[in-house]
Amino acid sequence: MFSRLAVAKRTSSIISRGFAVSPRLRSATASSSSSIAPGTVLKGLNIYKEGKDPVALEDKEYPEWLWTLLDEVPDEAKPEKERQRLQRSRVIKESNFMKSKKK
């Protein structure tokens, strides 16, 4: 399964379209909170040779969309081709599992 970022890098049409999530689902997955206290130094996240490690901020200082990145996208919001591919994959895995149990 492609991540949202990988799909966005491959085709520019998905970037502008995005993944539509109904307001009902969006409110059900409200925002989660950070697991790190504000002001904590995040060691090992520096990407610059001469830079310093970043410091964690308050949750309200981060954009709202950040808290939805790890949410599972519901099947209704996925493109039809991807849903069909996932369904075929599930059927094949189930079939292979049942074949392995018959022996």
Please give the pLDDT value at position 15: 39
Number of domains in the chain: 2
46 and 85 share one domain: no
53 and 94 share one domain: no
- Does 23 or 95 have the greater pLDDT score? 95
91 and 58 share one domain: no
31 and 67 share one domain: yes
- Does 91 or 11 have the greater pLDDT score? 91
| Residue range of the domain that includes 97 | 72-103
- What pTM value is reported for the model? 0.41
DSSP state of 52: -
64 and 76 share one domain: no
28 and 61 share one domain: yes
All residues at 6 or more sequence positions from 56 whose CB lies less than 8 Å from its CB, including other chains: 34, 36, 37, 38, 39, 40, 41, 42
